[in-house]
Amino acid sequence: MLKINLVRFFITASAVLFATLAQAQQPNTLPLNAQAESDGHALIDKMLSNVDQINYQGTFVFMHSGQLHTMRIVRGMVDGVVKERLTSLSGEPREVVRDTETVTCVWPNRRLVTVDPSSANHGIPTIVPRELESLTKNYKVVSGPINRIADHKCKLLAIKPIDQFRYGYELCIEPDTGMLLRSKMIHPRGHLLEEVMFTHVEYLDSVDHINFYPENDIENFTWRKSGQATQYSRTQLQHEKGWRVSKLPPGFSVSKISQRIMTTSDEPVHHMVVSDGVASVSVFIIKPRQPKRLFEGLSRRGSINAFSRGFDEHQITVLGEVPNETVKMIGSSIVHSE
């Protein structure tokens, strides 16, 4: 499905079917606007339930930071594991092969292969909610008309934030399959930040292992693998001492903490993920070998805002696809407790 972030099941397909049948059998007693919002939630439920059930291949365009990229994708379930392969059709040649464990990026012109742990995000750059409860707390869903994308009918849904700490989104979901055919990210002031749209999609009965082998001969390429991270569960987070965020924007919480060894520091890099269930923010805390050269201030690239500051000879960097008010609040309130 439609990275930049990936979604797990939240509501099962059978539950969605039951709710749909129940609505069909009972009279409509909801006000028009409430009914439209309820229908929007049901369609998002269907998208989340079907996200790992659809085998498909297609082409999509990705508009980000004023640039337009075209990519080909094949995605599906192989032996119980969701796999996908992305191939660039514009710009520098590159290829990404992803499964639940690793993300392998191939750069043919550089003769380079990088291998990193897989995240919870799909390969297609977009943000979709992971939890309907978080969505209803922090956003309002507005149902729109039927549209047409890649020769498929899809239903427009606007996901509007309740405050200035998160972006808004517009999704176009195919009602029959729950396939996300177009995604827009919208600034609170109303201008478009990012858009992903399929130009062609073909549903497949099944996919084979061969669909996910790199197209390039990478045997003699240089390989780089990231260091292993130590992750902590939600229970362990409550007892983990050290770096913490003392003030979070409304609706956000720390969802993951990990540490990773990097060559630029003699100490492990501390990584936190802060999320509201839809948007995610990464916090990196590193003690560089030259602590006198620490960056301070805000920076921006397309939809991604970043805030950096020095603290006790450490470089704190906060970045995510959220407004600058959000990364600044998080970065300014990071403290260390023994």
Domains of the chain and CATH, by start = 13-212 (2.50.20.10), 227-337 (3.30.200.100)
Q: Name the more confident of 194 and 3.
A: 194
319: left (phi over 0), alpha (psi -120 to 50) or beta: beta
Cα–Cα distance for residue pair 304/296, rounded to 1 Å: 17
pLDDT of res. 52: 87
What share of the chain in percent tops pLDDT 90? 54
Residue at token pair 């602590």: 291
Residue at token pair 């520091």: 265
How far is C-alpha 317 from the chain's CA centre?
19
- Name residue 260's beta-bridge partners: 229, 269
Nearest Cα residue to 74 out of 116, 122, 128: 122
2: tokens are 């439609």
The pLDDT-based confidence of 19 (bands split at 50, 70, 90) is very low
Nearest Cα residue to 82 out of 94, 97, 65, 99: 99
Burial call 118-130: b when 16+ CB within 10 Å, e when fewer: eeebbbbbbbbbb
329: tokens are 């609040």
Nearest Cα residue to 238 out of 260, 259, 253: 253
89-141 pLDDT per residue, tens: 999 999 999 988 889 999 999 999 999 877 655 456 666 666 677 788 899 99
pLDDT of res. 261: 67
pLDDT at position 36 over 80: no
For residue 13, the surrounding DSSP H or E stretch is helix 13-25
Nearest Cα residue to 206 out of 97, 83, 98: 83
Amino acid letter, residue 139: Y
pLDDT at position 60 over 60: yes
Q: Please say whether the beta carbons of 187 and 323 come within 8 A.
A: yes
State how far the alpha carbon of 107 is from the alpha carbons of 218, 220, 226, in Å. Answer: 9, 12, 16
Radius of gyration in angstroms for the set of CA atoms belonging to the chain, rounded to a whole number: 21
Burial call 16-53: b when 16+ CB within 10 Å, e when fewer: beebeeeeeeeeeeeeeeeeebbbbbbbbbbbbbbbbe
Q: What angle do CA 303, 254, 240 make, to 5 degrees?
A: 140
pTM attached to this predicted model: 0.78
pLDDT at position 278 over 50: yes
pLDDT at position 171 over 50: yes
pLDDT at position 338 over 80: no
Cα–Cα distance for residue pair 300/314, rounded to 1 Å: 21
pLDDT averaged over every residue in the chain: 81
70-79 pLDDT per residue, tens: 999 999 999 9
